[in-house]
Structure 1
Amino acid sequence: MFNSKLKNAFPKKYSEEIKVILNKLPLKVCRTQISNTFQVNLNQEEIYIPERIYFKEISKELYDEFTPIQKTIVDCIYTRHKNGFIREKYLYKLLQRGHCHYWVTPYLIKLSGEYVIEILNVLKECIPQLNDTFIRTYLVENKRIYHLTEQRIISYWNCYYREEFPMKDEYIGFQLLHYYRGCLLQNLSNKEKSPY
């Protein structure tokens, strides 16, 4: 059951890479290894990404055996981990490799709608490395997810950070929203990269 959830979390063209990864991840046959999923659209392909994963972190030795594309997939998987420190660690790894694949985008956007401010800071610091065209295309293709992300940013600011950041513009989440809105307003003809 959890294997199929992870297989469906990436475009079908990566099914062979996913098979290799699934053989090395520390998975157990247990319902709670992976939570419910949320659906996104990538180039009109439906992808189902876990809200949270609960299995242990992969060993460095096994991780180092993966190809760069397999490492990128593993990094995406671990950005969904229940532990915020692990999410942050694999976000760093993911961004060090660069925002080179469109299918990485939902993993990045999803993190911006969470409450861990250290993760939001990583995303904010790495805005120059993000592919604006990928962001724009994803937000247009997934309007419901974008609106939900906006609502979550507002809600987490109101619940946890309003006292620390009474001016909305000072809160990292709103700064990320400002960047996303800027991507939506940009003229695609000015961009060098395309998600296709």
Structure 2
Amino acid sequence: MGIPARLRPVARDVLSLVRKGEMHPPRHAFKVSVDHETLQIPYRLYYSPELLRRKLIDAQGIDQLVFACLGTRHYDGYLRQECLSYLLGSEAYWLTPYIVQLAGEYVVEIADDVAHGIMSRDTSLLAAFAEENPGYLATLDRRITSYWTCYHRLAYPNRNDYPGRKVLACLQDASRP
């Protein structure tokens, strides 16, 4: 799981609570750098949504944030959106890839939540993430463009109005001197 080394003991404990509800292991992941540490984050997770939701609600602090990170990678879009709201409530830098990744996925309502939520985040943290991950952001840009072209072009005739593009613009603006 793509959690910084200093938080892995917490992540192991959290994972042990939801693994019994895993339908099958993740197959794909993406890589990002956070504080110069490479994290490999699963693209999709297949835990029981009911179990994950219960654990998320009952948890507090870092445990709750780790559950929310797992939820942002879940196959259930409603659960991804619900978990995003927990992450947007924290300024912890290590959450940034979990938030930003959702802007490049197919559910435009979630990308819209990211676009609104990212505006209030610390711009120095956004700049640091953008500067650490140019390759990742280039891939994210291609994904966003692809989803916009295939599914959302009619609703957003101007590509820059598409929520995913707004997120990328925010990251790019933050990293400009």
Tell me if TM exceeds 0.5: yes
Amino acid at match of 1:125: H
SS at match of 2:173: helix
Give the CA deviation at 1:63. 3.2
Name 1:46's counterpart in structure 2: 38
Question: 1:140: Cα distance to partner?
Answer: 0.9
Q: Secondary structure at the match of 1:118?
A: helix
Q: Is 1:19 equivalent to 2:36 in the alignment?
A: no
8 Å Cα contact 2:31/2:40 also seen in 1: yes
Q: Distance in 2 between matches of 1:59 and 1:154?
A: 31
Within 2, Cα distance between the matches of 1:126 and 1:71?
19
Structure 2 partner of 1:103? 94
Q: 2: CA distance between counterparts of 1:55 and 1:25?
A: 7
1:114 to partner: Cα distance: 0.9
Structure 1 residue 36 and structure 2 residue 28: aligned? Answer: yes
Percent identity of equivalent pairs: 26
Displacement after TM superposition at 1:108 (Å): 1.1
Describe the superposition over 1:54-89 as per-residue Cα deviations: whole angstroms up to 9, x where unpaired.
111235553344331110111011100111111101
Unaligned runs of 5+ in 2: none
1:6-155 matches, within 5 Å, as 6=1, 9-27=2-20, 32-57=24-49, 58=51, 61-95=54-88, 97-98=89-90, 100-155=91-146
* Cα offsets for 1:110-157 (capped at 9, x unmatched): 111112111011112213332211211111111110101111111111
CA contact (8 A) 1:27 1:33 kept: no
SS in 1 for 2:175: helix
Q: Secondary structure at the match of 1:120?
A: helix
Q: Give the Cα separation in 1 of the matches to 2:46 and 2:154.
A: 32
Structure with greater Cα Rg: 1
Q: Given the two structures, how large is their TM-score scaled by the length of structure 1?
A: 0.82
Cα drift, residue 159 of structure 1: 0.4
1:109 to partner: Cα distance: 1.3
Flag the 1:65–1:160 CA change in 2: closer, same or farther, 3 A. Answer: closer
Are 2:165 and 1:181 equivalent residues in the alignment?
no
Deviates more, 1:10-19 or 1:64-73: 64-73
Q: Distance in 1 between matches of 2:31 and 2:139?
A: 13
Higher helix share: 2
Residues 1:51 and 1:85: Cα distance change in structure 2 (over 3 Å): same
Report the Cα distance in structure 1 between the residues aligned to 2:54 and 2:14, rounded to whole angstroms: 13
SS in 1 for 2:74: coil
Following the alignment from structure 2 to structure 1, what is the Cα–Cα distance between the partners of residues 93 and 65?
Answer: 12
Runs of 4+ in 1 over 3 A off after TM superposition: 26-30, 59-65
Letter in 2 for 1:86: L
RMSD over equivalenced CA pairs, Å = 1.9
Helix, strand or coil for the counterpart of 2:75?
coil
Q: TM-score normalized by structure 2? A: 0.90
Q: Which amino acid aligns with 2:44?
A: R
> Does structure 2 conserve the Cα–Cα contact (< 8 Å) formed by 1:112 and 1:120?
yes
